[in-house]
Amino acid sequence: MKKFEIVGIGNAIVDVISTCDDSFLDLMGIEKGIMQLVEKERGETLYTAMETRTQTPGGAVANTIAGIGALGLKTGFVGKVRNDALGQFYAKSMNDTGIEFLNPPMDGSDVPTSRSMIFVTPDGERSMNTYLGISAELGSEDVQDEFGSAAKNVFLEGYLFDKDKGKEAFKRLSRSCRAGGGQAGIAISDPFCVERHRDDFFDLITNELDYVIGNEAEVQSLYQTEDTDAALAQLSEICPLVVCTRSGDGVSAIQNGHRVDVSVETIVPVDATGAGDQFAAGFLYGILTDRDLETACRMGCISAGEVIRHVGPRPEANVFDMFKAEGLV
């Protein structure tokens, strides 16, 4: 029996949230309503300038793993934090919520723990300034073979693909899991990352993975087309299970030549942050508990629908009860 149902690997980022007004954004030179990457010094300046701070562990795949854990499955996460205040907070918060954080905070580095400074104005706009920090330095040396061999499934974050050492970390985790009879998959994460590393993505998907999850822009980017259905069909020829979320148009998935299309309830989002992450959580819960493809997609849509009803990228309601109400469990 495996120790973990699923282990994720990705950026370990502390989300630091503060409220402010537009004049503060102007004063600090923060562009409103978008996500910007910032360097170390800029990140420290913005962090210090925050008058009030609410901190929560974040990162795309970490959010997915948290969603799966909240549904009752045993989970782990591979990520890199420094042994500083934010790194200790991240590791403790993950462990306290039942996710085994597999890498202890690291000593001997002057690169701080990654953080995303999120400034929320009275109109609800979120202006994000992300310093990638030490999480972007994750490499194969941070992945022990037993992390993968102890898991039925591993889930990889495409954002880490920008660095060669991140790719090697992916492969080590994927190979150790599959060698032990498990499965591996990826959240594509970012069409711009695909543009920079298309050949490497295709090599990974074709040779190392059992499933791929992406949105329309990401799937289209792989094949440099605006025809989502054509791209999805091509992707299904090199990977046994492919899933494409289509915002208000639902989700399409193909598994071994069998396609399903699932519609979604129309919801005006309070905060769309985390919709893709929680879709993956619900979908993978369905796969891990041996539901059929359509049921897994419906579970993903319910999970995404819950998270966009409130601020924050992780579930607040009991999603398992929502599955029950729909007759899915």
In the structure, what pLDDT confidence band is assigned to residue 125 with cuts at 50, 70 and 90?
A: confident
- Going from the C-alpha of 58 to that of each of 61, 96, 137, 148, 320, the distances in angstroms are 9, 14, 17, 22, 22
| Residue 239's pLDDT band (cuts 50, 70, 90) | very high
pLDDT by residue (tens digit) across 250-291? Answer: 999 999 999 999 998 887 777 777 888 999 999 999 999 999
- The partner residues of 215 in beta bridges, in order of sequence, read 245
- Mean pLDDT, range 95-104, rounded to an integer: 94
Q: Which residue has the tokens 């993505």?
A: 201
293-to-72, 158, 258, 306 alpha-carbon distances in Å: 20, 23, 9, 20
Q: Which of 48-62, 122-136, 224-238 has the highest mean pLDDT?
A: 224-238
Distance CA 50, CA 61 (A): 26
Per DSSP, helices labelled H in the chain are 22-28, 40-49, 60-70, 85-96, 145-149, 164-179, 191-196, 198-208, 216-223, 228-236, 275-288, 293-307, 319-325
Question: What H or E segment, with its residue span, contains residue 180?
Answer: none
Residue 200, token pair as written in the block? 């490497």
Residue 193: predicted pLDDT: 83
Tokens describing residue 325: 């109400």
Which residues, in sequence order, are CB contacts of 114 under 8 Å at separation 6+? 11, 12, 13, 14, 59, 81, 130, 131, 132, 133, 134, 135, 136
* Confidence (pLDDT) at 56: 87
Confidence band for 33, pLDDT divided at 50, 70 and 90: confident
**C-alpha–C-alpha distance, residues 20 and 134, integer Å:** 27
Helix (H, G, I), strand (E, B) or coil at 102: coil
Amino acid identity of residue 294, one-letter, is E
Full-model pTM: 0.91
Chain segment 291-314, per-residue pLDDT in tens: 999 999 999 999 999 988 887 788
Q: Which two tokens mark 317?
A: 């309601």
Q: Which amino acid is at 316?
A: E
CA 62 vs. chain centroid, Å, equals 6
Structure tokens at 40: 């170390």
Per-position DSSP letters for 231-247, written without gaps between them: HHHHHHTTSSEEEEE-G
CB 19 within 8 A of CB 116: no
The confidence band for 325, taking pLDDT boundaries of 50, 70 and 90, is: very high
